[in-house]
Amino acid sequence: MWLWLAAVLAGLYLLRRWHRERQTVPGLPEKFVLITGCDSGFGKRLARELDARGLRVLAACLTDAGAQELRAAASPRLQTVRLDVTSSQSIAAAAAWVRERVGDRGLWGLVNNAGIGVPSAPNEWLSKDDFVRVLDVNLVGLIEVTLSLLPLVRRARGRVVNVASVMGRVSPFGGGYCVSKFGVEAFSDSLRLEMRSFGVKVIMIEPGFFKTAITSVESLEKNILSLWEKVPEETKASYGESYLQEFLMELRRVQERCNSNLKLVTDCMEHALTSRYPRSRYSVGWDAKLIYIPLSYLPSALTDAIFTRFHPKPAQKA
């Protein structure tokens, strides 16, 4: 009897959740959304999808070529702006540009999508500058863009959507990427609490591994080989050539398992912006739901043992 009652209650909860999440905010054609990193990948796809849905998309691109390509594939409503999230001057100019366009209505949505994945390698192969390069884009740039536009989002009682990653929950490889995504999680959590009283929702997207420019095997291999060339000879001897080759093979295996359906991620971003009752977190991809998020709750000794099985073995062991 208790089992049936639990099943009925669970079913009613899921039905209520499904009903709530299908409700959309009114007046979408009048709402402005700024998306960073629209040259390719998630940002480019999301910009086109929101434009097709009638929202007023402000697409921030790093390059003129990326902006031109996006405008050619979208309606006249979509507008583009050059934005380098590592430049305070560029962020200030983009914020002023957005302010001119949204006026008193404010900015309904800010999607912090811009990000990079390299340099990424075993930590000992990297320098401080290698970490800073990734952190400047994925974390510090995200924070500065958010702070610059937060008054406009607050005016509209809108949404901030931050693209984190399941690598913000576990860190199976070295470099600044996982570090930056852990930081995005922390920043988003604190901002979400602060903005509740203002009616602003702060939402995180946590994708698993998807086929984007960040996971391009050519880019990753080129990055690893370039870093290996700079590794001191003593360190190379400790790791060994076999470690490098195994590392490259594992990169190829991961890339082969990457999901090519980017719509899974952009659908979650769209829901976060248009639903009256968005979730605080969207975990996207079966690898995120069934592997990485469950692993993040296990004892460290157990997750260490699991991840170590997939790590290359050094030539010289302690």
177 as an active site residue: the answer is: yes
Question: CA 40, CA 70: separation in Å to the nearest integer?
Answer: 9
The gap between the terminal CA atoms of the chain, to the nearest Å, is 58
Residue with tokens 């420019």: 213
**Distance (Å, rounded) from C-alpha 147 to C-alpha 243?**
42
Name the nearest CA neighbour of 292 among 219, 210, 212. 210
Q: Which of 13, 177, 239, 297 is catalytic?
A: 177
Helix (H) or strand (E) holding 207: strand 201-207
Cα–Cα dist 112/143, whole Å: 9
For residue 299, the tally of other CB atoms under 10 A from its CB is 8
CA angle 247, 250, 255 (to 5 degrees): 130
Catalytically active residues, by annotation: 177
